[in-house]
Amino acid sequence: MDSEPQNSETLLVHDHADLDGVLSELDQAFDAKDLERSLELLDLFWGRLGVHIRAENVHLFPTLLRASELSDTRTSTDDVVPRQEMHELVNQLLDDHNFFMKQLIPAVKKLKLFCQNKEPEGLEEIRATMIAVRRRLEAHNLIEESRVYRQARFLLSPTEQSTLNQKIQSDLENIPLRLRKKS
């Protein structure tokens, strides 16, 4: 990361881009029918997405929901999402997070089995799962980047923003040991 502290919006948007890069590499591994590389990249994506989701679920969403409740935003302005819409957006995003994990956990397990049995034809089943994940992830990221992330600027004090930024950065850097050399 840069030596200058980044805000939570920048951190999370950059993490989306990094995750997209892993998905692109995974597509290439699928095309090459490279079981081992596909497993390595799918595991990396799953682990990194889990870290990203944790940062949002534990820090970003609760902070924004609390701030939305405390603010006097009953209707939308150009910048501020009204509290009811914030709740609806967060619930939708949490549902997406659950979908991603419910799809990725069995996909990783199946791909490990395909690798053990040297079954490259199994990659097509995993690819189909990843296409569904990617499509939903694209829509999900658009909502986060266009509606949710920027709310910290409008709803939080500079001190609250700084605290949130530190917590999110710490979580994003807390990648499982098995994945650190892969990222």
d(CA 46, CA 44): 5
pLDDT, position 182? 62
Going by the DSSP 8-state scheme, the letter that residue 2 receives in this structure is -
Rounded to an integer, what is the distance from CA 56 to the centroid of its chain? 8
pLDDT, position 3? 46
Token digits for 44? Answer: 């990396």
Residues in the chain: 183
Token digits for 78? Answer: 């150009």
For each successive 10 residues of the chain (183 residues), what is the average pLDDT? Answer: 70 97 97 95 97 98 93 62 93 98 97 91 93 98 96 93 96 86 62
pLDDT, position 138? 97
For residues 141-178, b (16+ Cβ closer than 10 Å) or e, as one string?
beebeeebbbbbeebbeeeebeebbebbbebbeebeee
Per-domain boundaries in the chain: 8-174
